[in-house]
Structure 1
């Protein structure tokens, strides 16, 4: 960024010389794909390639996480309407933010993006192939707009920390990013240290991704995302040897044959996508009585017939969006408590989530993220 001024007074020049370097600095950073990207930081104008990226941007700005957002993808009101409503109530101007379609579905409007003059566009790594095929990086580079990849979905247990560090550099909040990373690591260590000391038997766990979202059964996770969270929490992910990547599908017969000890269904408020669907509506301020009713209804499907987890009542639902944000440590604590209730009887994941909100997030905490048929 260049500033031109006429010789209209040495004092003004000296003021700019002393103040401006503190405001902006061009740096080179590595995004989570290993790309070297030059960005002027701290960034003042950001386009979010996915609306749910506000989950991690908010962790770095408790006052107003939307202050520097000039545009975002239109997914948050549909994928997580309760969180969107909470942010809208606190920051009503977000209703006026320009919205975009997605890179992967080809509805991202690059001309619109350029007119907003962002300092950076944040993109999830799962959009990388589509972004490259469309030549967006080169097109944006021609007009001086860098694109930075982050990842909280494909390999979140590997990429959450580097992604948060990238965000810290972009926003000029590096120490706050480190504070968050430590909070997250300490919360996970509470689980892993106890498991390492006790070495309990590992129950077999089937995680159903977005159970009830469609009539098909059953989407799940390989050895990443919720699949990895189960392993960290002291379980054996049933699908880790069936699904080669992060996401995939297992057939009902495989579930019956594996006879899992525990079942965890991810859910959300998806009325906008599947009106009146069988999905389990957990999330910010959810009605847990209704969520529990819908969770129980899912156990009547053929895939869960006679399965040990259903017979023993070890069927649970958890907020789907833990799969796409840096708060996975809360999910790990809750899963550990479900899998090893005696070992973790003193662990309080709700308290951890409340502390996360109190220390880092702009919203007040509301329960509703977990429900179980185990009599909680």
Structure 2
């Protein structure tokens, strides 16, 4: 027995034994060549036997592909789920209590990912988000990982979702031996988005309301306005839902800042802020905590307070109460069909009176996910009384 195994704790040995059993159940691996979203060609055996998830929020996809077997071949993950999305972490820890013992890693671009600790786990694959690629290459992380026999695969659900989301689902389907499930997931996602886009396309004389969507206010630092989204990510969701993102043509990148003057001049019909449970990271605690099982009374109170900042009291949407909050983590998982449906109901309530986004997300949980559904992903102020 190696010195590594001699030093391993009983819980870790149990996890390793579970991985061996999962490999036997999954069947033999085969040599393959894949191309990740960074355009890199990787030769590896599929499905992978031991995987480190370089962003734990990728579990939102992996769980949809593997269900009750989501963690069978996961040997470590980044610490972001417990820090940035603790409500989802609580759901998964309840369903899979052994994951509390999974080794956790930092973030490659911040320099706190321990490659030495990763090597000790003998992973076949390390999945990273695309935004880590520049640092990983320039700092020699890619080269060192390759020398240790670790295959890095870049995914992207955030920077350019139109281009990379389905590709990333496919890659995870290959890595985890769930290609058929990946096809089913993609088909479901497309169909639910089409429930909105098809109806909008058929609508005559569609009036697109002006929308400002603010990225994650109230977490840290100066709580000023107006961090927003360009033509992708939440900005694209606004467009698909029949709204007009006021940052279109101004912000060309995924994220950017509008001035308070630009917000006043645009005078949006709707304001949406993104929020999540950021209690572990916030020094302000002024964010709107929406997400699985959120206290929506408290969330609404936080949303009211955020709208007291300059220049929001001068904006039409705030005066009429057309102010909303959406779960921030939709921006990094291919569950965007849910906010697209909810945005459509906010923007065009008569056209989408029969659409029930909450039922859609509940059904998605029942069809694809191993964790139960709880409400709390959206909140709005009262129209016309603010």
Deviation (angstroms), 1:53: 1.2
Any idea what SS the aligned residue of 1:34 has?
coil
The equivalent residue for 2:318 is: 310
**Aligned with 2:84 (options 73, 79, 88):** 79
Q: Closer, same or farther in 2 for the Cα pair 1:20/1:311, shift >3 Å?
A: closer
Deviation (angstroms), 1:198: 0.3
Q: Where do 1:89-168 residues align within 5 Å?
A: 89-168=94-173
Give the whole-Å Cα distance in 2 for the aligned partners of 1:359 and 1:107: 37
Deviation (angstroms), 1:308: 1.0
The equivalent residue for 1:346 is: 354
1:208 has 2:205 as partner: no
The equivalent residue for 2:12 is: none
- TM-score under structure 1 normalisation? 0.92
Deviation (angstroms), 1:101: 0.9
Deviation (angstroms), 1:57: 0.9
CA deviations on 1:193-225 (whole Å, 9 max, x unpaired) are: 000000411111000001222412221101110
1:48 has 2:53 as partner: yes
Q: Closer, same or farther in 2 for the Cα pair 1:198/1:144, shift >3 Å?
A: same
Give the whole-Å Cα distance in 1 for the aligned partners of 2:58 and 2:155: 9
RMSD of the TM alignment (CA)?
Answer: 1.6
The equivalent residue for 1:14 is: none
Note the residue ranges of structure 2 that are not aligned, 5 or more in a row. Answer: 1-23
CA deviations on 1:312-338 (whole Å, 9 max, x unpaired) are: 211000000000111111111111111
Q: Where do 1:119-268 residues align within 5 Å?
A: 119-199=124-204, 200-214=206-220, 215-268=223-276
1:367 has 2:375 as partner: yes
Deviation (angstroms), 1:295: 0.7
**Aligned with 1:331 (options 339, 354, 361):** 339
Q: State which drifts further: 332-341 or 154-163.
A: 154-163
Deviation (angstroms), 1:51: 1.4
Deviation (angstroms), 1:305: 2.0
Task: Confirm or deny: 8 A CA contact 2:63 2:368 kept in the other structure.
Answer: yes
Note the residue ranges of structure 1 that are not aligned, 5 or more in a row. Answer: 1-18
Give the whole-Å Cα distance in 1 for the aligned partners of 2:167 and 2:382: 37
Give the whole-Å Cα distance in 2 for the aligned partners of 1:242 and 1:47: 38
Give the whole-Å Cα distance in 2 for the aligned partners of 1:92 and 1:275: 30
Deviation (angstroms), 1:189: 0.4
Task: Confirm or deny: 8 A CA contact 1:256 1:305 kept in the other structure.
Answer: no
- TM-score under structure 2 normalisation? 0.90
Give the whole-Å Cα distance in 2 for the aligned partners of 1:227 and 1:249: 13
Any idea what SS the aligned residue of 2:166 has?
helix
Deviation (angstroms), 1:20: 11
Deviation (angstroms), 1:134: 1.4
Give the whole-Å Cα distance in 2 for the aligned partners of 1:290 and 1:167: 37
Deviation (angstroms), 1:68: 1.2
Q: Closer, same or farther in 2 for the Cα pair 1:133/1:341, shift >3 Å?
A: same
Q: State which drifts further: 346-355 or 301-310.
A: 301-310
Give the whole-Å Cα distance in 1 for the aligned partners of 2:80 and 2:169: 21
Any idea what SS the aligned residue of 1:32 has?
coil
Any idea what SS the aligned residue of 1:265 has?
strand
The equivalent residue for 1:15 is: none
Deviation (angstroms), 1:253: 1.6
How many correspondences in the alignment?
358
